[in-house]
Amino acid sequence: MTYCGKQGNFQRDVDRRNFHTVEKVLKDLPEWDRNVIIDVFRRKEPIENTVREVSKKFGTNPDVVWSVLSKVSRKIAKEN
């Protein structure tokens, strides 16, 4: 998904639909899960490093962060 930084400023219709799908899934998540996901995707490091750092920040095991990522990815795929 390409996020353009501003809602409504998409080059393609598919990008707009993807954005709205992700937005809907994020709104339905528990606050803790949503915060973990947002923190993971805001970082520009390799995903393994990101998961390790986010797990430290939230005081949890990296496996928990990986589980949240998997759960949210499945929810997004079901919505599409």
Residue 7 has which token pair?
A: 């809602």
Q: What's the pLDDT score for residue 10?
A: 85
Q: At what angle do helices 62-79 and 13-28 cross, to 10 degrees?
A: 130
> DSSP H helical segments within 7-46, as ranges?
13-28, 31-42
Is the pLDDT confidence value at 49 over 60?
yes
Q: What's the pLDDT score for residue 80?
A: 74
Q: What's the pLDDT score for residue 6?
A: 53
Is the pLDDT confidence value at 30 over 60?
yes
Averaged confidence pLDDT in the chain: 90
Residue 59's region, left for phi above 0, alpha for psi from -120 to 50, else beta, is left
The structure's pTM equals 0.81
